[in-house]
Amino acid sequence: MSTTAAPPRSGDAVPARPAVGRRRPRRSPATWLRGGGLSNLIFLLPLLVVFGVFSWFPIVRAVIMSVQETNLVTEPVFVGLDNFRQVLADPLLWKAVRNTLYFAFLALVIGYPVPLVAAVLMREVRRARGVYSALAYLPVVVPPVVAVLLWKFFYKGSPTGVFNTILGWPGLGPYPWLQDASWAMPSLVLAATWAGAGGTVIIYLAALTSVPAELYDAAEVDGAGLWRKVWHVTLPQLRGILFITLILQIIGTAQVFLEPYLFTGGGPNNATVTVLLLIYRYAFQNSLGGDYGAATALSLMLALVLAIFSVLYFRLTRSWSTS
Amino acid sequence: MTLSPTNGVPGGAPAVTAEAAADGAPGTTAPGPSGASGSSPGASSAGSPRARPRRATPDLGADRGALSESDWHRPSVRWGMGGTHVLLLVLLVVVGLGPMLLLAKFAVTPTQDILRTPMAVFPNGIEWANLERAWNDVEISRYFLNTIWLALGSWAVQIVVATTGGYALSVLRPRFGRVVQAMVLSTMFVPAVVLLVPLYLTVLDPPLLGRSLIDSFWAVWLPAGASAFNVLLVQRFFDNLPREVFEAARVDGAGPYRLFWSIVLPMSRPILGVVSVFAVIAAWKDFLWPLLVLKDPAIQPLSVRLPSIEASTDLGVFLAALAISTLIPVAVFLLFQRTFLRGAGLGGAVKG
């Protein structure tokens, strides 16, 4: 790999370039070795092995498994699109899709504006801004499992639950929180928002610092007040990052698992079964042995939907980076 | 930390972060404009050893938000915004710190009091024994150690894969490098959910190994290394290192190994810090994957173990266990606040 290596035997006039190993006319094992082929391979080996075994191979395998009947006991059998048909015919799937969409919707309504408002306000803080950021970020540091278990305890439905006690001071409640089918999902979203909003606040704060001061100056010359500055300068400048967090939130909420699994286990009355929870049930909570075919079929369908958002995300980040 | 990088390389997103990370390279600890310190304007140029002249320096001389100096002199703004900020602070304390303080209180409250009067302040004294029973009887100490092992191993695997892979792709550039890079990048489009089942089956019966990895830490460590995000982050950073240094080292007779170990790695401390923070946090938070592959309770991490002891443990002791599990991450955060917030600011946008 080093340029000090012996020149290639075929005496062509290609100047030795620092980016080695391109356009060698003849390649015998000896020239490969001298050109640094071995050290290239050694350095790439960890990446190739780890990605090969734990990423590329499983991705290919997912596609194959989705058209097979696999139960680890007997040989896999090709069944065509039966797995997809079986999943699409499952009444629980549509419930899960609706629940997931509902979770995503609530997360948008509750969770999306909160960090933005907080960040725009925090940007104006002149003293001890670090304290604000640290406080906002603190819930993100709590391990998610701990956060869920703690909130589950807070959500206790009896009048002596923590939230019900607090809300009881002004005479509200008691509320059923997780026990009631219509309360359960908003409760999940509330906890998830608490756990995640801080990270988004920090992202917005970072983006806010790159809003050019001249734009505000110019707006002031034109006589804009605070609200018009926020509306006509701050928000348009954040446009890119707002779209990015939006798409990331959609991708994230579509794969929500931890909250429904730990808070409610999908209940009450399947009101919080999400798509990923259903995949988990197909594969790992099946008393008849894992239905891996159905599970991979469903995850591929979900992935296909999410891929649209991923592509959108990459296009957006790229187009904004060039503009 | 600008979120609009100028180069249109494939995979703009990782480029964003690498660009931003490279801004602070190498070895500078210039306080990020968003950083924990919202202190004096111009601090970022003073703190940086090589204050490069930039074309536009909007955030150096005038660190301002929507409100201008003259706005702040108006009483309505001063009182209105001041009041809003006090309110915001109170809200942040209640929402951000409140649950943590409650948890700390419950950790040392007798179970009967927690059940009957959760919000009363120690009506029947303090129960320190909760903590001790959680640590010893519930064996939180052991699960704690497991968590640390999992985090350390995942970190090591991720660092090895990302640095060697990034070095090969960025500096050595073999002829098949572009193909490898495209394949690594393409995995970013595949959501984690697709991997769940096939990865589980792969770990159950890995190729060429002949024995299952279930109930072994390797089942968590190795898949953690397959992070395209890390590889691209590191690779972009290496791309921005000065080529002349590499050439000089080569002229002086340094081979690829020497170049990697003595030149590239020491120059990439900032990016290794970012990758490390991400790796350790991710390992600490991970739940579903360890739940699937670590069946033996003796080697499970806290995240897996806590939900399964919930039903069988005395409530006071259980909450003490939760409090202990929270303590270390929160303490680490408070110690390395700036690194965390900077990492969240630049990497958060691209973490799925």
Q: What is the per-residue pLDDT across A210-245, written as a single tens digit (0 to 9) for each?
A: 888 888 888 888 888 788 888 888 888 888 888 888
Cβ–Cβ contact A257 with B under 8 A = yes
pLDDT higher than 80, residue A25: no
Reply yes or no on whether the pLDDT at B38 is more than 50.
no
At position A104, the amino acid (one-letter code) is A
Residue-wise pLDDT for A82-109, tens only, equals: 889 988 998 999 999 999 999 999 999 9
Structure confidence at residue A31 (pLDDT): 75
Does residue B150 belong to the interface with chain A, where contact is any CB pair within 8 Å? no
- Token pair listed for A291: 């239905």
Of residues B318 and A22, more confidence is placed in B318
**Inter-chain CB pairs, A–B, below 8 Å:** 385
Cα separations (Å) of B26 from B21, B103, B162, B256? 9, 41, 18, 21
In a domain, A46, yes or no: no
In this prediction, residue A27 has a pLDDT band, given cuts at 50, 70 and 90, of low
**Who wins on pLDDT, A31 or A94?**
A94
pLDDT at A1 > cutoff 70: no
Question: Is a pLDDT exceeding 90 seen at residue A79?
Answer: no
- The answer to whether A291 touches A178, Cβ cutoff 8 Å, is no
Does the residue A306 lie in any domain? yes
Average pLDDT over residues B150-163: 95
Nearest Cα of chain A lies from the Cα of B147 at a distance, in angstroms, of 12
pLDDT of residue A189: 93
Nearest CA in chain B to A70: B201
Q: Does B140 touch chain A (CB under 8 A)?
A: no
Q: What pLDDT digit, counting tens, does each position of B189-209 carry? A: 888 888 889 999 899 888 877
Instruction: Assess if residue A171 is contained within a domain.
Output: yes
The pLDDT assigned to B43 comes to 36
Residues of B in contact with A198 (CB under 8 A): 96
User: Is the Cβ of B333 closer than 8 Å to some Cβ of chain A?
Assistant: yes
Indicate if the pLDDT at residue B211 is higher than 80: yes
Mean pLDDT confidence for A54-80: 85
The sign of the torsion formed by the CA atoms of B305, B309, B311, B315 equals negative
Answer whether residue B52 shows pLDDT above 60: no
Length of chain A: 323
Contact A226 B71 (CB under 8 A): yes
pLDDT tier for residue A321 given thresholds of 50, 70 and 90: low
Hey, how many other C-beta atoms are within 10 angstroms of the C-beta on A239? 11
> Cβ of A220 under 8 Å from any chain B Cβ?
yes
Total structural domains in chain A? 1
Smallest Cβ–Cβ distance between B116 and the set A138, A151, A160 belongs to A160
Kindly list the residues from chain B whose CB atom is less than 8 angstroms away from the CB atom of residue A135.
89, 92-93, 96-97
Q: Which domain holds residue A306?
A: 82-322
Which CATH class for the B131-341 domain? Answer: mainly alpha
- Spell out the domain ranges in chain B: 131-341
Query: CA angle, A298 as apex, A294 and A299 as ends, to 5°?
Result: 115
B240 touches A: beta carbon within 8 Å: no
Instruction: Give me the pLDDT at residue B311, please.
Output: 86
Residue A14 pLDDT > 60: no
pLDDT in tens, A108-117: 998 889 999 9
**Distance (Å, whole) CA A15 – CA A31:** 16
A1 lies in some domain:
no
Is the distance from CB of A300 to CB of A275 less than 8 angstroms? no
Find chain A residues with C-beta within 8 A of B254's C-beta.
Answer: 2
Give the rounded percent of residues in chain B with a pLDDT score beyond 70. 79
Look at A134 and B337 and tell me if their CB atoms are within 8 Å: yes
Predicted confidence (pLDDT) at residue B181 exceeds the cutoff of 60 = yes
In a domain, A2, yes or no: no
Interchain CB distance below 8 Å, A295 and B349? no
Tokens matching residue A128: 């001890």
pLDDT the model gives residue B4: 31
Quick one: pLDDT band at residue A8, thresholds 50, 70, 90?
very low
Contact residues on chain A for B236, CB-CB shorter than 8 A: none
How would you label A190-222 residue by residue, b for 16+ Cβ within 10 Å and e otherwise? bbbbbbbbbbbbbbbbbbbbbbebebbeebbee
| Chain A 118-177, residues with CB within 8 Å of chain B CB atoms | 118, 120-126, 128-146, 149-151, 153-154, 160-162, 165-166
Q: Look at residue A280 and tell me if it is in a domain.
A: yes
Minimum mean pLDDT among A29-38, A155-164, B324-333: which range?
A29-38
The predicted pLDDT at position B90 comes to: 94
Chosen from B90, B193, B245 to mutate, greatest number of chain A CBs within 10 A? B193
Compute the nearest-CA separation of A162 from chain B (Å): 6
Task: Name which of B38, B77, B256 is nearest A130 (Cβ-Cβ).
Answer: B38
Judge contact between B279 and B155, C-beta under 8 A.
yes
Per-residue pLDDT, B21: 39
Q: How far is CA A8 from CA A12, A22, A36, A250, B177, in A?
A: 8, 12, 12, 54, 21
Q: CB-based burial of residue A144 (10 Å sphere; 0-12 exposed, 13-18 middle, 19+ buried)?
A: buried
Residue A46 and residue B161: Cβ atoms within 8 Å? yes
Tokens representing A289 are: 């042995």
What's the CA gap between B350 and B344, in Å, rounded? 10
Q: For residue B37, is pLDDT > 50? A: no
For residue A281, the tally of other CB atoms under 10 A from its CB is: 19
CA distance B157 to chain A (A): 9
Answer whether B222 sits within 8 Å of A53, measured CB to CB: yes
Q: What angle do CA B192, B344, B6 make, to 5 degrees?
A: 90
Q: How far apart are CA A68 and CA A82, in angstroms?
A: 8
Structure letter (DSSP) for residue A289: S
The CATH number of the domain where A158 resides is what? 1.10.3720.10
The pLDDT assigned to A158 comes to 83
pLDDT above 90 coverage of chain A, percent: 30
Cα within 13 Å of Cα(A181), Cβ side: 7
For all residues of chain B together, what is the average pLDDT?
78
Residue A12 lies in a domain: no
Chain A residues with CB under 8 Å of B334 CB are 134
Residue A25 lies in a domain: no
